[in-house]
Structure 1
């Protein structure tokens, strides 16, 4: 895998919105957070554009993404928020150009589709992490969420344990593999395409937001029947952001689904649709252990 370069104070980074326009005030608030980190932040030309013509929307989103990658002055690309439609532009991307211009690409939720597409088609490490408008605005952000950006500057490895999240072990064990995954709906939707998650030999991350337990069970079953869990070395479940009653049903789904798994399974990592929202590099080596529960991840930058 190709690792992008570490960030330095004064580096220029771009904000793009390939899954839909963000709240403008929230984006400006998040942009200030990146600027306080010492970054020179530019906003993509079409970030706030709203079009009724979906084909025009796709072209504008694609344009901002490819211009950010091709611009040698830009060292990192941070997505504004989630939404919908990234699958449509995945087939239009010039992956050879991205491979020749490796840089940090960061987001989650609907961006999951692009994280996996870019990683598989360009051999570039990508980053599942908090987004500028939805996670760094004044209402949502936490110090812990902001701290997720620090390894981009330091190049340090990352250790997630119960000091960061109250982790629960479903299945004990130890697993080593590359880190993969993202949003459950997007992982399921990408099956059978050139951009489906590379789960073979992976520590697989799975997160979701406000989906009922029966839907989560259905999607996990879909992944299972597609062979996704056949060769994984471990599974890390995020915070699924459901109401308390639904959360009890969801816990039972996980317990039943992963009962007797041959790999370690840990739940309640804070990544994805939650606060704090810890960022992780995808495609790098990782080790999951359960006594005590801990995920150690190699640096995503060089």
Structure 2
């Protein structure tokens, strides 16, 4: 585990767009948000250009990411939005030499590809936390914006989750488990299977979330993971928010039935209720840092080290 440096006012924040494009007003909102925190946003002039799928051509998106990784005057890479595109950059990213000093990557959703690469290949600690377009549009509540600020500026040394619910006996029987958190978006993690950057969950809690996926698709992705051996020696599954995915002609989903099935099928603990993902509340989840899960009198507490340090 490597530690990132706590933010200080005046720090330069490198903004990248490895996936979908953002609209000009969203970029302006992100710029204004970072200024509000007394940070210096560095948003390349040609970061976003017309493209039929992404924020820019692969080579351009990678070029901006590479520049952010290699810049000597910044320590943070914050993504504008998710969507799709980050996994196309991994073969190019794999050719880079690991920097001597780690940086902090922030983002969710499609950014899971980059989280997985940076944590597994370079040993960095990263942060699964709101994207800049969301923060710039004021879609994060004052309470949760403050929590994120406190984490990034070192006012909070850990993130605590108190609403986890055990879904099987293996989870109910845990009293203490020291581990780390890996994972992110389920659909993105499925795309890592069979690649050099396949998600590695041994001796870790695997955190999963997603949006717009029907029950059968979630089940299919979990089965693919099982057949790929992802759950072997995994300390357990921790399910975040799964939103959308209603069955055709219905306002209901089959998510509950799917997770009940997997909790019964797997011989590892399965918990539900992490407040992270694509829903309204998107609490920060530090990845590849130490964590402790305790359970007493039916109450579960997951405490995750933020991974930060004073510079």
Whether these two folds match at TM > 0.5 is yes
2-side partners of 1:94 and 1:248: how far apart? 39
Unpaired runs of 5+ residues, structure 2, are none
Give 1:282's aligned residue: 287
Give 1:168's aligned residue: 165
Give 2:268's aligned residue: 263
Give 2:100's aligned residue: 100
Q: How does 1:90-169 map to 2 (within 5 A)?
A: 90-93=90-93, 97-133=97-133, 135-138=134-137, 140-146=139-145, 147-154=147-154, 156-162=157-163, 167-169=164-166
Give 1:187's aligned residue: 189
Give every structure 1 segment of 4 or more consecutive aligned residues whose post-TM-superposition deviation is greater than 6 Å: none
Does structure 2 retain, via aligned residues, the 8 Å contact 1:4–1:301? yes
Give 2:9's aligned residue: 9
Does structure 2 retain, via aligned residues, the 8 Å contact 1:176–1:203? no
Does structure 2 retain, via aligned residues, the 8 Å contact 1:178–1:284? yes
Q: Which moves more between the two structures, 85-94 or 106-115?
A: 85-94
1-side partners of 2:25 and 2:60: how far apart? 21
For residue 116 of structure 1, give the secondary structure of its aligned residue in structure 2.
helix
Matched, 1:250 2:255: yes
Q: Which moves more between the two structures, 167-176 or 242-251?
A: 242-251
**Length, aligned pairs only:** 297
TM-score (norm 1): 0.90
For residue 99 of structure 1, give the secondary structure of its aligned residue in structure 2.
coil
Does structure 2 retain, via aligned residues, the 8 Å contact 1:266–1:293? no
Say if 1:246 and 1:17 are closer, same or farther in 2 by CA, change over 3 A. same
Does structure 2 retain, via aligned residues, the 8 Å contact 1:176–1:287? yes
Unpaired runs of 5+ residues, structure 1, are none
The CA deviation at 1:19 is 0.6
Matched, 1:48 2:55: no
Say if 1:71 and 1:62 are closer, same or farther in 2 by CA, change over 3 A. same
2-side partners of 1:246 and 1:137: how far apart? 31
2-side partners of 1:272 and 1:53: how far apart? 23
Does structure 2 retain, via aligned residues, the 8 Å contact 1:3–1:300? yes
Q: Deviations over 1:122-160 (max 9, x none)?
A: 111121111000x21335221243122421211611111
Q: How does 1:62-73 map to 2 (within 5 A)?
A: 62-73=62-73
TM-score (norm 2): 0.88
CA RMSD, 1 decimal: 2.2
The CA deviation at 1:105 is 0.7
The CA deviation at 1:280 is 1.5
For residue 258 of structure 1, give the secondary structure of its aligned residue in structure 2.
helix
Q: Which moves more between the two structures, 266-275 or 181-190?
A: 266-275
The CA deviation at 1:113 is 0.6
For residue 28 of structure 1, give the secondary structure of its aligned residue in structure 2.
helix
Q: Which moves more between the two structures, 170-179 or 60-69?
A: 170-179
2-side partners of 1:198 and 1:105: how far apart? 19
Say if 1:115 and 1:62 are closer, same or farther in 2 by CA, change over 3 A. same
Say if 1:208 and 1:243 are closer, same or farther in 2 by CA, change over 3 A. closer
